Amino acid sequence: MRTRVLVVEDERTALQALSLLLEDEGYEVLKSERGEAGLQLALQEEPDLILLDIRLPDVDGITVLQRLRAGYSDAAVIIMTAETTSSNAIRATQYGAFDYVSKPINDEHLLLLIRRALEYRSLEKEVREFRQTPPQPGIPGMVGHSPSMQEVYKLIGRVAGSNATVLIGGESGTGKELVSNAIHEFSGRAKGPLVKVNCAAIPESLLESELFGYEKGAFTNAASRRIGRFEQANGGTLFLDEIAELAPNLQAKLLRTIQERTVERLGGNAAIPIDVRLIAATAHDLNEGVANGHFREDLYYRLNVVSISLPPLRDRAEDIPLLVQRFLSRSVRPVTIRQDALDRIMQHRWPGNVRELENAITRAIVLAPGGVITPECIQIAERAAATVPDSWVKQVPHRDGYWSVIRQVEERLVRGALEDAGGNKTEAARILGVQRRLLYDKMSEFGLA
């Protein structure tokens, strides 16, 4: 079958000239002078490549592009624009266009670009088929068509069927828990339980019995037997969130459990066989934990049989419009978003990733006058500048000596974060961006424990 190219261009003479050029090159050409009609044609005919004018009489090219991707078209798209430094064109590539050309169009350059785009697309297809991935568009509940998210979907598809332990990495709010849900749902264990334990949320002293359970009389308060999370997850999946926070003695016990596939309740001596698929997640780099001795290397290798790493939202800005649409669609009253508001969203770095975006949209929906979100509705928490002000640095009493100054600063940081967190240590550690254990160490150092 001949390679098919759809040209969407409202100027008739330009449309004709492009068609002739492409037909001469042996391409089959489809034509449209309108954005809406072009979109329909693209979704029906599934061309291999689309040349898309950005300024169209009915809808603009960016909207067409967004809706193409939302309709799961995988055509390569090249944007045509009259302005050389068009921010639109740059935005188009963020939304998944292969590239853009400026008008007047240089035929040779365009043909070269088309060949490259087609090559890239067929390569991408080959890789997809080679890996025998589940059919696109991916995983229910998860939004995003960026290449890095497609990789994530493929991995989920490949590991779900096995019993392999999976380690999910990624910054806070990138969707680690969603991935663990998806793996469970797509696995042969979907009918079994999915049990979740957040290792950072449960005090260290309780976590052991939480995970492994205890026998009656195991300790003073053990009035009756309690089944641990491992046993509860039997026949299903156990999700261990924030695994980097696991204390050393529990790391050892977890390792044994994985190796022997049995658990022992506290105060018991029977090794109870368990059939559990383990998924662990961490927002911290476990490699670093291994390097500085906080995380057992042997356990790391046991957990990291397959690793799935979620990209931060700022590295896949093309997914933002889709996510925004998803969050808007949850609103009970119809809400739309103005382009300048979406622009503001696209410009932000989203350090809190999808969760932060989700919260911002939820707030914007409430604030939207007449159901239209304007830039004023988007409340982005501007973080304090990462750099310490000059005036502050000048006052540092360096003559007091390095360690004395560092200690004072550390104490301020710890006290401040604890205050902001209302005494919640997990939250305080999150504010500071450090592991809970470091916070504990510092608290006892400063007599705050």
**What does the binding site for Mg ion look like in residue numbers (CB under 5 A)?**
177
Asked whether position 174 contacts ligand ATP by CB under 6 A, the answer is: yes
CB-based contact 283:242 (threshold 8 Å) = yes
Question: From Mg ion, ligand ATP, none, which one binds at residue 174 (CB under 5 to 8 Å depending on kind)?
Answer: ligand ATP
Which CB, 10 or 177, lies closer to Mg ion?
177
* Nearest distance from C-beta of residue 358 to ligand ATP, angstroms: 5
Least separation, in Å, of the C-beta of 160 and Mg ion? 19
Q: Which distant-in-sequence residues (6+ apart) come within 8 Å of 155 by Cβ?
A: 306, 308
> Closest by alpha carbon to 189, among 238, 235, 240?
235
Site for ligand ATP in 278-317 (CB under 6 A): 283
Q: Are 183 and 194 in contact (CB under 8 A)?
A: no
Least distance CB 168 / ligand ATP (angstroms):
8
User: What amino acid is encoded at 285 in this protein?
Assistant: D
- Out of 99, 124, 177, 210, the only residue in the binding site for ligand ATP (CB under 6 A) is 177
Cβ atoms of 350 and 314 closer than 8 Å: yes
51 within 8 A of 17, measured Cβ to Cβ: no
Nearest approach, Cβ of residue 177 and Mg ion (Å):
4
* Count of residues interacting with ligand ATP (CB under 6 A): 17
Among 93, 148, 172, 374, binds ligand ATP (CB under 6 A): 172
CA distance 357 to 208: 35
| Alpha helices (runs of H) in 234-352, residue ranges in sequence order | 248-260, 286-291, 297-303, 320-328, 339-347
349-388 positions binding ligand ATP, by CB under 6 A: 354-355, 358
Helix (H) or strand (E) holding 285: none
Placement of tokens 């806070």 in the chain: 172
Q: In which region does residue 267 sit, left (phi positive, over 0), alpha (psi from -120 to 50) or beta (all else)?
A: left
Site for ligand ATP in 325-344 (CB under 6 A): 326
What does 143 bind: Mg ion, ligand ATP, none (CB cut-off 5 to 8 Å by kind)? Answer: ligand ATP
Say which entry of Mg ion, ligand ATP, none residue 178 contacts (CB below 5 to 8 A, set by partner kind).
ligand ATP
Closest CA to 152 of 309, 322, 338, 345: 309
Site string for ligand ATP, 105-144 (x = CB under 6 A): -------------------------------------xxx
Q: Which residues bind ligand ATP (CB under 6 A)?
A: 142-144, 170, 172-178, 283, 323, 326, 354-355, 358
